[in-house]
Amino acid sequence: MPTISIDQSLIAQLLNRHGLDNDVTRMADELPLLGTDVDACNDQTLDIEIFPDRPDLLSGETLTRAMRPFLYKQKAKPNLDVAKGKITMTVDASLEHVRPVILGAVVRGVQSGTGAENEAFIKALMDHQEKLHFALGRGRKRASIGVHDLATLSPPFRVKTVPGSTSFTPLAMDEKMSIDEILTKHPKGIDYAHLLEGMDTYPVIVDKNEAVLSFPPIINGNHTTVTSATKDFFIDVTGWDRRACEASLMLIASQLEERGGTIESVEVTCFDGKVEHLPNPEPLRHDVTERLLNGLLGRALTDEEIQTAINRMGGVFLGRKAAENAPSREPMNMADVVDGDVVLTFMMPRWRFDILHPIDLVEDVAIGHGYEDLGTDVPRAPLTALPRTDGHIRRRIRDSLQGLGLMQIQSLTLSNDTDQFEAMRWPAMGEVTRITNPITIDHTLLRQYLLPGLFRLLASNRHHELPQAVYELGTVVRDHVNSDRFAFLVAEQNGGFAAVRGRIQAIMRDLGATDYTIEPLGGKMGPWLTGRSAKVIVDGIHVGCFGEMDPHVGHHYELKVPLSGAEFDIQELERALPDPV
């Protein structure tokens, strides 16, 4: 999750503009409900992690905008104040298959402070831009943002495609570079060249003097750099995803507006000739059936309760009415609107990128109302379940292993040949289930043994003190069929065969095995130390092996301490041991 650190003096300044006091205690207590995880909240700083579904909270300014109705019960404002501007931007038809979504906005009169405050503002602006590139832009593929000093530009603007030989001075450089050179030599070009791979011409934004102000999605022109003297900003957003681009544009504009700026629209003539005035300030309308809201929340809310709840989340409740022109049939799913339904209408900000479905509005109402105040209920249907056939033995195995002081872990079912077979000296049991297109050499097949995962875990924790004792009860795949096993591994200075044998005897006692034999394990198959390992036989069935680990196996994982462990087949144990329950 993205993490942001905000100076409390900035939050206090932004709240004071609206006549509000900075309440640190309320922030620490209630902000987690808004979609954040508060790491630290004191009089100096607010350190929070933003959940991935709330990219509209990724800057101090936009977070404070969301805090005002949520914490201070201010009236929500789901729209932006956008004055009509005179700047135009024309998009050539050649952009249709290169980078079709082109948006723009102007923000004038931004108050960024002086000295250190100004430097902190510029850093926060760039940081917000990069976080949006990650959260909404998917690494600048869906959306990329350019922020420019408007005073250095000469509108109107034009977006066109140019050959790779076109040159301009990119950001943070003193010399001109061609686009081909930027893509192969400039750090940003190297990082994002893959987004333009296979193209013969490239997108650029130029002003009336043909000066390149942006080469999206790679880099801006050096002459448009935002400085401490910048008061008026031009924002361009380009990409392939209209919704992601629109949200990115509005969030950057909103950040600047919170700093005292005035947003102006830009008239954009799209590649298909359509003319738009952007950003669109109007909120989006969402309809939710009363049946869906009440069914999921478990209670009916009054209009006043709904209005209060959605206001805290930055929206407006317009009321409820009977569904019009709805089909007369049974709903296929809970979100369907059918004849006889009552529909609740909400207006939510366009920058709320996370609202994709009516269920998201239900969640917002629940958060705004408070989960602790949804009332209580009892099940209306019998919920008695039947246990799995192997449920009892799995529970008894866990109780026994945890009683011996072992810690349960869960490792990935994906593994590789080196861990499963070569390092552990085990053969493949039947056919190996392999991944057709693995994305890493560490995950090429479905595991057949559990012990390799325990070795990997201890290797990652070898810098911690001994003893370390872990176990796993999980699924393996042999001959393309799932089966269950459990294994444990212990690293301790004084461990030996007697210690691991004692653990096995305790486990067998806890499982109710009274008639079993422990026989030496012949040969050199497996990770066991020759002469210091054994197998367990119950009623003639081989259920598992245990013993000391060969130091050569431990050295493969850089483990230089005495190791002992075991691996058992749960299906064989279940077959050999009667279920006392």
pTM (2 d.p.): 0.71
State the span(s) of the chain assigned CATH 3.30.930.10: 391-576
Give the CA distances from residue 187 to residues 167, 181, 190, 191, in Å, rounded to whole numbers and listed in that order.
16, 11, 5, 6
C-beta of residue 524 within 8 angstroms of C-beta of residue 530 = yes
* Interval 7-37: pLDDT, tens: 999 999 999 999 999 999 999 999 988 878 8
* Interval 540-577: pLDDT, tens: 999 999 999 999 999 999 998 999 999 999 999 999 88
Cβ atoms within 10 A of the Cβ of 436, count? 5
What is the spatial distance between Cα 100 and Cα 221, in angstroms, rounded to a whole number? Answer: 21
**Sorting pLDDT into bands at 50, 70 and 90, what band is 396?**
very high
What is the spatial distance between Cα 207 and Cα 204, in angstroms, rounded to a whole number? Answer: 10
Structure tokens given for 302: 């009054």
What is the spatial distance between Cα 473 and Cα 491, in angstroms, rounded to a whole number? Answer: 18
Residue-averaged pLDDT of the chain = 93
Helix 60-72 and helix 24-34: axis angle, to 10°?
Answer: 100
pLDDT reported for residue 579: 73
pLDDT reported for residue 522: 79
* Interval 455-499: pLDDT, tens: 999 999 988 888 999 999 999 999 999 999 999 999 998 878 999
What is the spatial distance between Cα 355 and Cα 220, in angstroms, rounded to a whole number? Answer: 31
Q: Which CATH architecture has domain 3-72?
A: 2-Layer Sandwich (3.30)
pLDDT reported for residue 372: 85
Structure tokens given for 105: 């906005």
The fold of 391-576 is BirA Bifunctional Protein; domain 2 (3.30.930)
Element (H, E) at 7: strand 3-7
pLDDT at 379 over 80: no
* Interval 321-334: pLDDT, tens: 999 888 888 887 77
What CATH number matches the domain at 285-324+338-371, 3.40.50.300, 1.10.150.530, 3.30.56.10, 3.30.70.240?
3.30.56.10
State the span(s) of the chain assigned CATH 3.30.56.10: 3-72, 285-324+338-371
C-beta of residue 221 within 8 angstroms of C-beta of residue 170 = yes
Q: Which of 527, 521, 520 is nearest to 425 (CA)?
A: 527
**Sorting pLDDT into bands at 50, 70 and 90, what band is 146?**
very high
pLDDT at 257 over 90: yes
What is the spatial distance between Cα 344 and Cα 495, in angstroms, rounded to a whole number? Answer: 67
- Enumerate the β-bridge partners of residue 434: 445
C-beta of residue 10 within 8 angstroms of C-beta of residue 125 = no
**Sorting pLDDT into bands at 50, 70 and 90, what band is 419?**
very high
pLDDT at 1 over 70: no
- Average the pLDDT over each of 151-155, 376-380, 406-410 and give the range with the smallest value: 376-380
DSSP characters over 393-436: HHHHHHHHHHHTTPEE----SEE-HIIIIITTTPPP-SS--B-S
Give the CA distances from residue 372 to residues 70, 166, 295, 308, 375, in Å, rounded to whole numbers and listed in that order.
16, 61, 17, 15, 7
pLDDT higher at 278 or 34: 278
Number of residues assigned to the chain: 581
Give the mean pLDDT of 243-261. 97
What is the spatial distance between Cα 264 and Cα 110, in angstroms, rounded to a whole number? Answer: 12
- Is the domain covering 82-278 a CATH 3.40.50.720 domain? no
Q: Which of 83, 261, 226 is nearest to 150 (CA)?
A: 226
* Interval 177-226: pLDDT, tens: 999 999 999 999 999 999 999 999 999 999 999 999 999 999 999 999 99
β-pairing verdict for 262-269 and 82-83: parallel
Please state, for a pLDDT cut of 90, what percent of the chain lies above it: 79
Cβ-Cβ contacts under 8 Å for 578 (sequence gap 6 or more)? 512
pLDDT reported for residue 581: 61
What is the spatial distance between Cα 507 and Cα 538, in angstroms, rounded to a whole number? Answer: 13
Structure tokens given for 205: 């934004």
pLDDT at 525 over 90: no
C-beta of residue 497 within 8 angstroms of C-beta of residue 547 = yes
What is the spatial distance between Cα 546 and Cα 127, in angstroms, rounded to a whole number? Answer: 54
pLDDT reported for residue 271: 96
What is the spatial distance between Cα 1 and Cα 51, in angstroms, rounded to a whole number? Answer: 6
- Average the pLDDT over each of 108-117, 213-222, 526-535 and give the range with the smallest value: 108-117
Give the mean pLDDT of 382-400. 85
Which position has the token pair 């956008």?
82
